Copies of this chain bind each other. A is one copy, B any other.
Amino acid sequence: MKENKYDNDDFFEKYSNMGRSRNGLEGAGEWHELKIMLPDFKDKRVLDLGCGFGWHCRYAVENGAKSVIGVDISQKMLNEAKNKTKYENIEYICMAMEDIDFLEESFDIVISSLALHYIKSFEDILDRIYKCLSKGGDFVFSVEHPIFTAKGLQDWHYDGNGNILHWPVDHYFTEGIRDAKFLGEEVIKYHRTLTTYLNVLIKKGFEITGVVEPKPAEDMLNTVPGMSDELRRPMMLLVSARKR
């Protein structure tokens, strides 16, 4: 079943109270690195897969995008996105990312923030993205890092006193479903190796233009408790690519 945890009332409430939900892009630890990987939006047609509250859709318009379509499976998320949005050239569509079927070359830029690890087949979604992207168009996405998703538990390994010892990695080459905890709820994610993320892109006809494992911004390191532990293992993977 396609994951739609965000229409669950409790989960939605908790998600809405996260720093990244309340404070938008600036509240997201990776934004300072993702931002510089994004292409120039001026006069571009943009698709945002798993748009959530629509922060990236609005950013695209505020930076000159001609039109933006945001796709999300959660109606609750899109209702909130619409409440936050005053731009006429953003359209929100409630559907599973896996089902997108836009006309060829409908977009110049496709973005997706922390959503593709909910998708079972990276190959399939990539075929759909490739089709609807114009030649020379940009695809920029973030996912949870394969090192973060491999074991499945998504937690540190602690000593007997509750102190962090290290990040545990296991089952790396066993791709597929992981039952992870997120905001205290069970969430189904899909683990994929770095090899799969990058080589499928290359094989499908994309050129890789950037690969970044984001570190927390300096100001967050100094002000947010526990943030320095984020230097101990990579949590996210940001990739930019261009359709040949």
A contacts, CB < 8 Å to B: 147, 150-151, 157, 165-174, 193-195, 198-199, 202, 207-213, 215, 231-234
Contacts and interface: CB of A to CB of B under 8 A. Distances in A.
A212 B208 CA distance: 14
A202 B210 contact: yes
Contacts of A194: 194, 211, 213, 234
A171 B166 CA distance: 9
A113 to B, nearest CB: 18
A169 B208 contact: no
B213 A193 contact: yes
A228 to B, nearest CB: 10
Given A147-B147, A151-B166, A171 B210 contact: no
A220 to B, nearest CB: 14
Contacts of A231: 171-174
B167 A165 contact: no
Contacts of A166: 151, 157, 168-170
A157 B147 CA distance: 16
B208 A171 contact: no
16 contacts: A147-B147, A157-B166, A165-B168, A166-B170, A167-B168, A167-B172, A172-B232, A173-B213, A173-B215, A174-B231, A193-B213, A194-B211, A194-B213, A199-B210, A199-B211, A202-B211
B232 A211 contact: no
A61 to B, nearest CB: 29
A211 B195 CA distance: 6
B234 A193 contact: yes
4 nearest A-B pairs in the assembled complex, by CB-CB distance: A166-B168, A198-B211, A166-B170, A167-B169
Contacts of A215: 173
A172 B213 CA distance: 10
A235 to B, nearest CB: 10
Contact of A170 (B195, B208, B232): B232
A233 B170 contact: yes
A195 B234 CA distance: 10
A157 B198 CA distance: 29
Nearest to A173: B231
